[in-house]
Amino acid sequence: MSAAPSKHSAAGRIRRGSLADIEAVLALEALFPSDRMSRRSVRRFLSVPNAQVLIAENADAVVVGNLVWLRRQGSRAARIYSVVVAPTARGQHWGERLVLAMETAARAAGCERASLEVRSDNLAARALYAKLGYREVQTLPGYYDDGSDGLRLIKPLPV
């Protein structure tokens, strides 16, 4: 897969992650009570060709978010596996910027659609995805570790 282009602005940038980002990704994961990625999972996502980790850095080069997306070899579908934005960086459009950067990278990799799962009670994330054109297509009862329901969302990625 090709790397996502860096997106720079006065507020920071989105870049492709590397093994040097493991600790920063794990620190973000630790901010949330459930469904955390393990060190092993983070290392794998940063190392395998069918995954890409995008890192959001603020203007001070502090990691404030990340997104993991996957693509099976030969598939035209991208799957957003995880999006995390530090609570202190919320409201600064990092989630939106990460998703848009993923869509750009997925299109460049030949993907025609993107999918993801989101907690049904995560109204902020659902609003963001709706704003970006994702449609809720399936309810996933008891999907999350704590028994919470999820929703599957999809979006076409026209070239």
Phi, psi of 3 (to 5 degrees): -75, 150
Q: How far is CA 122 from the centre of its chain?
A: 15
| Calculated CA dihedral for residues 13, 50, 26, 154, nearest 10 degrees | 70
DSSP string, 71-101: --TT-SEEEEEEEEE-GGGTTSSHHHHHHHH
Q: What is the pLDDT along the chain (159 residues), one digit of tens a residue?
A: 334 444 444 589 999 999 999 999 999 999 876 778 999 999 999 999 999 999 999 999 999 999 999 998 889 999 999 999 999 999 999 999 999 999 999 999 999 999 999 999 999 999 999 999 999 999 999 998 889 999 999 999 987
Its pTM stands at 0.90
